[in-house]
Structure 1
Amino acid sequence: MPGVEGGVGLTALMVAAARAIETHRPDALAADAYAEHFVRAAKASAAWPVRPAEVPDGDANPLWGRLGRYFGLRTRVLDDFLTRSVHAGARQVVLLGAGLDTRAFRLGWPAERVVYEIDRDGVLAFKHQVLDGLAAIPTATRRPIATDLREDWARSLLSTGFDPAVPTAWLAEGLLLYLPSTAERRLIDTVDHLSAEGSTLAFEVKLGVESPEIRANPVYVATRQQIGVDLLALFDGEPRPDSAGHLRELGWSTETHTPFDFTRHHGRGPLPEPNDALAGNRWIFANKPGMYR
């Protein structure tokens, strides 16, 4: 299928496989019943594992064990972020680079919430084909928007019914790592411009360029060898902007966490290791202050 069979699109299938495996763990942090169907529907991933018993070496496998558990933890943390945001009053949710995200189908949304999913046409077409085949029914009003986030995606969002006067929960999960720095700065400025007071934003960044020792970490090596995904080649190599700092300059409040903060909170997930491929990852949570609570 165009859009998911190569490049960054293939990482959407990788994350779907990790979510499928997490779903079937006895101590699962998140559940996504649709994830394995995406993996099986694409030729590139049809033979990948979707259950813990199918993973060679189990949790010792750097890809499906350590990195897979990371994706499971990230899913849970960002599920919780969106759930808190909408129950506190956010009326709209925007998934930037939505990929194979199924939150519009699997989370319990309050009434009259709208979920916008922005991604390239090929990714959304594949997603629709699989979900339509399953007769999946969204639990919120869902509005997919086929556009490239490096282009004028705001115009497409506004033309689909998005209301910038209403508090919004924004999510950029596994997106900014692949965008050029200019596109990241433009995205942050656009989110700020479109956000009413009380809006929230969560996103993932990686600090700086990793050392040769970290680039040789088994997570990167196993991902390249087992499924042909060279994450290091996909990550944008430009110096990264300080998006959290920029948001603070724009009046937002921010919190920065390592993934390991949430491993300790939930009692499961990856912990630090020497020359860690996850050590530079940060999860940012931002709030645009206002009357909204």
Structure 2
Amino acid sequence: MSDSDLAAGVSSTALMVAAARAIETHHPHSLLRDEYAEHFVRSANSPVALPTRIEDVSLGDADPFWGHLGRFFAVRARTFDDFLVDSAPHTPQIVILGAGLDTRALRLDLPPSVTCYEIDRHDVLTFKSKVLGSLGALSPVPHHLLPADLADDWPSALLSAGFNPSVPTTWIAEGLLLYLPAPVETSLIDTLNTLSAPGSRVGLETLPGQDSLRDHTLFDTSTAETGSHLGGLFDPDPRPDTPAALGAAGWTLTTSPVDTFTRRYGRGPDPSIPGPILQSRFTFGEKDA
């Protein structure tokens, strides 16, 4: 695999979000720390120079992409981080779907009894392992990187790695569903439900109306900034109502707009700037007994 493969297709979003986490890590008002993010950015042979600090961006926090959108990635990551840390003592297993280049198994304070499984494309996880290996980075909890296509038989890889569907699991689908074809999203959620014992928890992100947001002006600069047109990577299909599907399957869920979490943490995208960011919804909940 060439490191430059990370700049192709959806994988470029993993690198973009890593750059945003690196910026946030070094920001004076940071919501999180990810000491590995900068190493991913610097190790990838991206055709576009990606920033790792807000000082690398000419407009700084006022930049519509790395400032405004970057703060969205920051508050999203912090929100899902906190959900995972809160859930982990109650669920012996964690499964991160479309894990990208995040390193929650290494950087979060998780109980040693937890086993973490990450599922993503082979090229992303190979690059991730290569960089972490060069740093001598080790997870303090059992940690499995499982290369699998979420449109194919990913449960076989999960079960072969030791996943036990009879015990509670915390599932994370952050920055994932909006890139999947609608039938794949529906199948993935059905499978997630089937593999979830009572007491399992889920955190997921949805973007209602994403098919109409693909050409929003916010994304006009994304090709120059990252090498890919971010909105063009969104799947154009009308979206399934995934929270409703899980609710019908016996999950108790709460769905909130991103501004809820901006207010909670005191940092995030400017709510006075209209656009697709404010349409994002975070859903968290638990499977009933």
Same fold (TM over 0.5): yes
Is the contact between residue 7 and residue 227 of structure 2 (CA under 8 Å) also seen in structure 1? Answer: no
Give the corresponding residue for 2:82: 80
> How far apart are 1:5 and its partner, in Å?
2.1
Alignment partner, residue 22 of structure 1: 24
Whether the 8 Å contact between 1:21 and 1:52 is mirrored in structure 2 is yes
Q: Which runs of 5+ in 2 are unaligned?
A: none
Say if 2:11 is the partner of 1:9: yes
Contact 2:170/2:201 (<8 A) preserved: yes
Q: Identify the residue that residue 237 of structure 2 maps to in structure 1.
A: 238
Q: Deviations over 1:20-73 (max 9, x none)?
A: 000001111011000000001111167211012111100111111011111111
The answer to whether 1:179 aligns with 2:186 is no
Residues 273-282 or 99-108, more deviating? 273-282
Task: Report the CA distance between 1:224 and its aligned residue.
Answer: 2.3
- TM value normalised by structure 1: 0.94
Measure, in 2, the Cα distance between the counterparts of 1:267 and 1:120.
Answer: 34
Letter in 1 for 2:261: F
Structure-2 residue corresponding to 1:216: 216
User: Shift of residue 141 of structure 1?
Assistant: 0.5
Give the stretch that moved more between structures: 95-104 or 37-46. 37-46
Give the structure 2 partner of residue 260 of structure 1: 259
CA displacement, residues 220-259 of structure 1 (integer Å, 9 cap, x when unaligned): 1121232222112110000000000011110101110111
1:251 equivalenced with 2:250 (yes/no): yes
SS at match of 1:139: coil
Shift in Å at residue 136 of structure 1?
A: 0.2
Q: Tell me whether 262-271 or 125-134 shows the greater mean CA deviation.
A: 262-271
Aligned pairs for 1:98-137 (under 5 A) are 98-137=99-138
DSSP 3-state at the match of 1:116: strand
Measure the CA separation in 1 of the matches of 2:105 and 2:202. 17
For 2:126 and 2:40, the matched residues in 1 are separated by 12
TM-score by length of 2: 0.95
**C-alpha deviation, 1:273, in angstroms:** 3.5
SS of match in other structure, 2:225? helix
The Cα shift of 1:8 comes to: 0.4
Query: Does the CA contact (< 8 Å) of 1:3 and 1:121 recur in 2?
Result: no
Q: Aligned with 1:95: secondary structure?
A: strand
1:144 partnered with 2:145: yes
Query: CA RMSD of the aligned region, Å?
Result: 1.5
Question: Structure 1 counterpart of 2:142, which letter?
Answer: T
Partner-residue secondary structure (3-state), 2:46: helix
Secondary structure (helix, strand or coil) at the match of 1:28 reads: coil
The number of residues matched between the two structures is: 287
Tell me the amino acid that sits aligned with residue 168 of structure 1.
T
Matches within 5 A, 1:278-293: 278-290=277-289
The answer for the alignment partner of 2:160 in structure 1 is 159
Once superposed, which parts of structure 1, at least 4 consecutive aligned residues long, lie more than 6 Å away? Answer: none
CA contact (8 A) 1:220 1:277 kept: no
2: CA distance, partners of 1:100 / 1:274? 28
Change (3 A) 1:209 1:268: closer
Alpha-carbon distance in 2 for matches of 1:45, 1:204:
29
Report Cα offsets for 1:146-166 as digits up to 9, x if no partner.
110000101111111000011
What residue ranges of structure 1 are gaps of 5+ in the alignment? none
Decide whether the 8 Å contact of 2:112 with 2:140 is kept in 1. no
Deviation, 1:274, is: 4.8
- Given that residues 20 and 51 in structure 1 are in contact (C-alpha distance below 8 angstroms), is that contact kept between their aligned partners in structure 2? yes
- SS at structure 1 position matched to 2:271: coil
Q: Matches of 2:151 and 2:5 in 1, distance apart?
A: 16
Which SS does the other structure have where 1:215 is aligned? coil
Note the C-alpha offset of 1:142: 0.3
Contact 1:69 1:270 in 2 (8 A): yes
**Identity of matched residues, %:** 47
Q: Distance in 2 between matches of 1:2 and 1:121?
A: 14
